[in-house]
């Protein structure tokens, strides 16, 4: 009798450049994942790791010459652009540290990204991408919409967030201070008694 050996199914290698699928009821961050895939992934990586050598290997061989002449180097193709020397990671430890809160991050994205066509994202798309990046960096639960009214409360780099300075004591608070009151009363009594003492002499 022949023994039947069960074959372990071979899992297909996931396509790291494939468009992410949306859930049935997508959140703002879920939609941001789509916007990120379309406009940010080519430079910032499929996992937000930046344009690393490892990530470049996912591209076809002819598209791996990012900084070379003829691609996005010193003499890019007609109507092309030159890539910056370093393209930073945007997901992971130590990323997004130049932004104190989500409002500033969103404003930067809206005004300057994508690098190849700045300010081409709609307002909605820029909020979506911001929500996606915050969620992926565990800075935002994405349970509610990210907006101008709540994004300044979401801290990205707490060391840049300005702490509320303590106001200097006002004149009213000084006069209400018991120590100041007693000292003032003593000076007043002394001023009243000095003329009386000198008159008696």
pLDDT of residue 79: 81
**Are both 97 and 194 inside the same structural domain?**
no
pLDDT of residue 58: 92
Q: Is residue 40 included in any domain, yes or no?
A: yes
Q: Is residue 119 included in any domain, yes or no?
A: yes
The mean pLDDT of 57-72, rounded to a whole number, is 89
The rounded distance, in Å, linking the Cα atoms of 116 and 112 is 9
**Are both 50 and 147 inside the same structural domain?**
yes
**Are both 32 and 91 inside the same structural domain?**
yes
Total domains in the fold of the chain: 2
**Are both 190 and 91 inside the same structural domain?**
no
* CATH (domain of 93): 1.10.760.10
The rounded distance, in Å, linking the Cα atoms of 153 and 116 is 30
The rounded distance, in Å, linking the Cα atoms of 144 and 27 is 8
Q: Is residue 131 included in any domain, yes or no?
A: yes
Q: Is residue 37 included in any domain, yes or no?
A: yes
Quote the domain boundaries for residue 129.
Answer: 28-153
**Are both 121 and 43 inside the same structural domain?**
yes
Q: In Å, what is the CA distance from 181 to each residue of 76, 171, 190, 191, 192?
A: 76, 12, 14, 15, 17
pLDDT in tens, 111-145: 999 999 999 999 999 999 999 999 999 999 888 99
Confidence of residue 158 (pLDDT cuts 50, 70, 90): confident
Q: Is residue 9 included in any domain, yes or no?
A: no
**Are both 186 and 111 inside the same structural domain?**
no
**Are both 32 and 65 inside the same structural domain?**
yes
**Are both 141 and 92 inside the same structural domain?**
yes
The rounded distance, in Å, linking the Cα atoms of 64 and 66 is 6
**Are both 50 and 101 inside the same structural domain?**
yes
**Are both 183 and 138 inside the same structural domain?**
no
Phi and psi torsions of 8, nearest 5°? -75, 125
Mean pLDDT across the chain, nearest whole number? 84
pLDDT in tens, 67-80: 998 889 988 888 88
Q: Best-predicted range by mean pLDDT among 4-18, 126-140, 149-163?
A: 126-140
């Amino acid at each position: 009798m022949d023994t039947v050996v069960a074959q372990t199914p071979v899992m297909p290698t996931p396509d790291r450049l494939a468009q992410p699928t949306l859930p049935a009821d997508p959140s703002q961050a879920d939609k941001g994942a789509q916007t990120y895939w379309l406009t940010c992934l080519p430079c910032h990586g499929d996992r937000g790791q930046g344009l690393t050598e490892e990530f470049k290997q996912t591209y076809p061989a002819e598209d791996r010459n990012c900084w070379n002449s003829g691609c996005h180097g010193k003499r890019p193709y007609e109507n092309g652009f030159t890539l910056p020397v370093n393209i930073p990671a945007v997901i992971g430890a130590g990323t997004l540290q130049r932004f104190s809160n989500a409002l500033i991050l969103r404003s930067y994205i809206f005004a300057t990204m994508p690098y190849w066509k700045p300010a081409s994202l709609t307002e909605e798309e820029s909020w979506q991408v911001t929500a996606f990046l915050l969620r992926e960096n565990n800075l935002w639960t994405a349970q509610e919409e990210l907006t101008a009214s709540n994004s300044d409360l979401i801290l990205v780099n707490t060391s840049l967030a300005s702490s509320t300075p303590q106001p200097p004591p006002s004149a009213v608070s000084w006069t209400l201070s018991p120590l100041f009151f007693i000292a003032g009363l003593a000076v007043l009594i002394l001023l009243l008694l000095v003329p009386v003492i000198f008159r008696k002499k």
